[in-house]
Amino acid sequence: MTNKNLFKILISLAFVFLANQSFAADETVEMLNKSGKESMVYSKKIVRINVGDTVIWKATDKGHNVEFIKGGVPEGVEKFKSKFNKDTEYKFSIPGIYAYWCTPHKNMGMIGFVVVGNDKSNLEEIKKIRFAAKSKKIAPDLINSL
């Protein structure tokens, strides 16, 4: 084998490696008391991942959790509610939109969305979620940008 061919093979391998990297896109979201001018927030309000990816929520500040909203997840997804003050994670194996909130701050704007596999087939159900107070104010813009 010539050096030139060997070089070509190495370059191709590097591309395959990089392409795979971008598909293994686990995401980390911090649970925060404050972020800029906002209080009680997830560091990322919308996360987009592929089927099979995991989202990790870090208990950077205490007193928060992650609770999937009833009717705000794709069909077949089980209830999920994490413990307070603890890092938590969830592996998303069913495509669709997942809406969640922090149980004690669900009316204070501490809501988030995960879009799995770019599947928005349950968007109409998401629009029917009854948010209250500050969450009701910020939800429409977030849902429109899903």
- Name the site residues for Cu ion (rule: CB under 5 A): 64, 102, 105, 110
Nearer to Cu ion, 38 or 125 (CB): 38
Judged by DSSP in three states, 68 sits in strand
Residue 145 CB, shortest distance to Cu ion, in Å, is 22
CB closest to Cu ion, residue no: 102
- The answer to whether the beta carbons of residues 17 and 45 sit under 8 Å apart is no
Residue (of 18, 21, 19, 58) closest to 42 by Cα position: 58
Backbone angles phi, psi at 108, to 5 degrees: -105, 15
Residue 67 CB, shortest distance to Cu ion, in Å, is 10
Residue 133 CB, shortest distance to Cu ion, in Å, is 14
Nearer to Cu ion, 6 or 133 (CB): 133
